[in-house]
Amino acid sequence: MEIIAKEDVKLKSKLKEVFGYSQFRGNQEAIINNIIEGKNTFVIMPTGAGKSLCYQLPALILEGTAIVISPLIALMKNQVDQLNAFGVNAQFLNSTLSKAETNRVKKETISGEVKLLYVAPESLTKEETLEFLRKAKISFVAIDEAHCISEWGHDFRPEYRRIRGIIDQIGDLPIIALTATATPKVQLDIQKNLQMDEASVFKSSFNRTNLFYEVRPKHKTKKQLIKYVKKHKGKSGIVYCLSRKKVEEIAELLKVNDVKALPYHAGLDSHVRMANQDAFLNEDADVIVATIAFGMGIDKPDVRFVIHYDTPKSIEGYYQETGRGGRDGLEGNCLMFYSYDDIIKLEKFSKDKPVTERDNSKLLLQEMASYADSAVCRRKQLLHYFGEAYEKDCGFCDNCVNPKEKFEAQNEVVMALKTVVLTEQRFGFDHISAVLVGLNNQYVSSYGHDQLEVFGKGKDHDIQYWNSVVRQVLLSGYLDKDIENFGVLKITQKGLDFIQSPHSIQLCIDHNFDEEVAKEEER
Ligand code: ADP
Ligand code: ZN
């Protein structure tokens, strides 16, 4: 007991001494202890919750050098600069270093001076890097942004999938994987690929209680945007657009409307890009209009709004980006403009990708579209997507503040659940809805599902209606998604109970944005 207590004191004093913080946040202390004990550790924490500290502090305490694998050069530089400012010897190895600099970093690592060595996965795979790392004393390997491992995420980086093999070539080292994006599916994929089934998993709640979520139809968007930004005049905000051209256009639009806005995208000269980023961080500019490349590792606590001018590619991406708002725990407004045209456009982008990748991005886009269309509490939907149960409505999103009328859906829920059971729990939304509507498509008939008693029982409504019902049934925990077979719906015990003894249940009707826009036009 006493030893543990002493260790705790040591950790706290190190936290204060190096980083200047008096308290650990959330799971940090437990995670750090786990790493110090040399155990494999899997950390799932929302953006801004303080993941970096989880490996930075143990790196300082343990003997030797910790390797940190990080996907972006800008991200590495940011962290290394910050650590150096704290008086910690942290260095990076990537393509930006000269031969002489590389040699110096290697020398300092072998002599044990470097406590944290940041490397890009591309550098890690080089034979010369491996040879050098075998000579150094390595304490553990941290894999930051570990969702890059998963093909099911939004940031897949093929070279990330080779990391485990490379670590094994360096030695028998503890691994700590960290990510802010873990749907249960991505989580499973990361653990499998890193062969860390036995790892201690620390998953924090993804609920960002201070963020207000709102979705609006993409209609007269420029006018809406200007009005919104002006309402938040003088406050920091990010506007995400999908293309560089759009970024330029919107930054210009805001400028001519007296908003201190600057563009940020990969097509800009790196000096301009850096200058614009700095201007935003130093508050010389209020708004940064950016492609999604912006924000990874950017640590600005007082971003008051995050706007998605274009519909995002996935809920993971959307959540990560909105997560950059209100990091200080104060106000954060997240506004997304949605149009189904955007979804179709995005689908076309992945036309030339390999089939699995294409199918996956299509699924992610479908999830995005259903999120936008749904009148269910946004927070409930988001947290459910990340595998977290959230029973009540949050009262702090557009759908909670302006609720749509609900309808009694006891019969519909029973029908949906029965259809899942009768089709042997092997299908997703579209199939279940097709059976209910009585659509005799190729799949329905080839499985003989046109012979089921539920076939056509819901023909008074369309596929969309039933998709919406089934989603809400899923959100309420009567169904579950099969993690291994993305999209396949299974019935839960709660669902079976409902079929046995149904009760009154209220569901929402999806938004009809076309109708809303038409009404708006009339006004
Ligand atoms: P993440 O990687 O999870 O997005 P960061 O590691 O960048 O988050 O941390 C977010 C912010 O929280 C940083 O400014 C960091 O310095 C700060 N932070 C981390 N841990 C603590 C702590 N224990 N007390 C106070 N601030 C902290
Ligand atoms: Zn809500």
- Tell me the mean pLDDT in the region 179-206: 90
Instruction: Return the residue whose CA atom lies nearest to atom 2 of ligand 1.
Output: 51
Label the pairing between strands 116-119 and 90-93.
Answer: parallel
- The 3-class secondary structure across 134-185, one letter per residue, is HHCCEEEEEECCHHHHCCCCCCCCHHHHHHHHHHHHHCCCCEEEEECCCCHH
Residue pair 302/322 in contact (Cβ under 8 Å)? The answer is no
Length of the chain: 523
Query: What is the interface pTM, i.e. ipTM, of the complex?
Result: 0.98
Mutate to test the pocket of ligand 1, among 25, 60, 88, 330 (most ligand atoms within 8 A of CB): 25
Quote the pLDDT of residue 320: 87
Residue pair 306/334 in contact (Cβ under 8 Å)? The answer is yes
Tens digits of per-residue pLDDT, 459-488?
999 999 999 999 999 999 999 988 777 789
Query: CA 366 to CA 412: how far, in whole Å?
Result: 22
Tens digits of per-residue pLDDT, 323-343?
999 988 899 999 999 999 999
Please state, as a whole number, how many other Cβ atoms lie within 10 Å of the Cβ of residue 163.
Answer: 23
- Tell me the mean pLDDT in the region 140-152: 91
Contacts of residue 286, Cβ cutoff 8 Å, sequence gap at least 6:
233, 234, 235, 236, 237, 259, 260, 261
Quote the pLDDT of residue 2: 44
Among the bound ligands, the one closest to the CA of 28: 1
Q: Which atom of ligand 1 is nearest to the CA of 24?
A: 23
Higher pLDDT, 20 or 295: 20
Tens digits of per-residue pLDDT, 483-521?
777 789 999 999 999 999 999 999 999 998 888 888 878
- Which protein residues have a CB closer than 5 Å to ligand 2 (ion)? 377, 379, 393-394, 397, 400
- pLDDT beyond 90 at 42: yes
Name the residue among 314, 427, 419 with its Cα closest to residue 370: 314
Query: CA 344 to CA 161: how far, in whole Å?
Result: 30
Give the lowest-confidence range in 1-5, 69-73, 511-515: 1-5
Q: Give the confidence band of 243 by pLDDT, cuts at 50, 70, 90.
A: very high
Quote the pLDDT of residue 316: 87
- pLDDT beyond 70 at 212: yes
- pLDDT beyond 80 at 368: yes
Name the residue among 317, 338, 320 with its Cα closest to residue 214: 338
Pair of tokens at residue 107: 């020398």
Q: Is 258 exposed, middle or buried (0-12, 13-18, 19+ CB in 10 A)?
A: exposed
Percent of the chain at pLDDT above 70?
97
Look up tokens 């706007």; give the residue.
Answer: 307
Query: CA 515 to CA 508: how far, in whole Å?
Result: 16
Quote the pLDDT of residue 4: 53
Quote the pLDDT of residue 6: 63
Percent of the chain at pLDDT above 90?
75
Q: Which atom of ligand 1 is nearest to the CA of 46?
A: 3
Q: Which atom of ligand 1 is nearest to the CA of 47?
A: 4
Mutate to test the pocket of ligand 1, among 27, 31, 53 (most ligand atoms within 8 A of CB): 53
Q: Give the confidence band of 155 by pLDDT, cuts at 50, 70, 90.
A: confident
Query: CA 38 to CA 456: how far, in whole Å?
Result: 58
Q: Is 198 exposed, middle or buried (0-12, 13-18, 19+ CB in 10 A)?
A: exposed
| Coil vs helix vs strand at 505 | coil
Quote the pLDDT of residue 386: 87
Give the lowest-confidence range in 233-247, 344-358, 417-431: 344-358
Q: Give the confidence band of 193 by pLDDT, cuts at 50, 70, 90.
A: very high
Residue pair 45/26 in contact (Cβ under 8 Å)? The answer is yes
- pLDDT beyond 50 at 1: no
Residue pair 502/413 in contact (Cβ under 8 Å)? The answer is yes
Q: How far is the CA of 227 from the centre of ligand 2 (A)?
A: 24
Quote the pLDDT of residue 183: 83
Pair of tokens at residue 402: 């302006």
pTM for this predicted structure: 0.81
Q: Is 354 exposed, middle or buried (0-12, 13-18, 19+ CB in 10 A)?
A: exposed
Name the residue among 315, 316, 314, 308 with its Cα closest to residue 335: 308
Higher pLDDT, 303 or 9: 303
Pair of tokens at residue 200: 């201690």
Q: Give the confidence band of 7 by pLDDT, cuts at 50, 70, 90.
A: low
- Tell me the mean pLDDT in the region 345-358: 86
Q: How far is the CA of 429 from the centre of ligand 1 (A)?
A: 39
Tens digits of per-residue pLDDT, 77-118?
889 999 999 999 999 998 888 999 999 999 999 999 999 999
> Is 53 touching ligand 1 by the criterion CB < 6 Å?
yes
Q: How far is the CA of 178 from the centre of ligand 1 (A)?
A: 14
Distance in angstroms between the alpha carbons of the first and the last residue of the chain: 71
Q: Is 389 exposed, middle or buried (0-12, 13-18, 19+ CB in 10 A)?
A: exposed
Q: Give the confidence band of 72 by pLDDT, cuts at 50, 70, 90.
A: confident
Strands of 332-338's sheet in order across: 211-217, 332-338, 303-308, 236-240, 287-290, 261-264
- Tell me the mean pLDDT in the region 21-47: 94
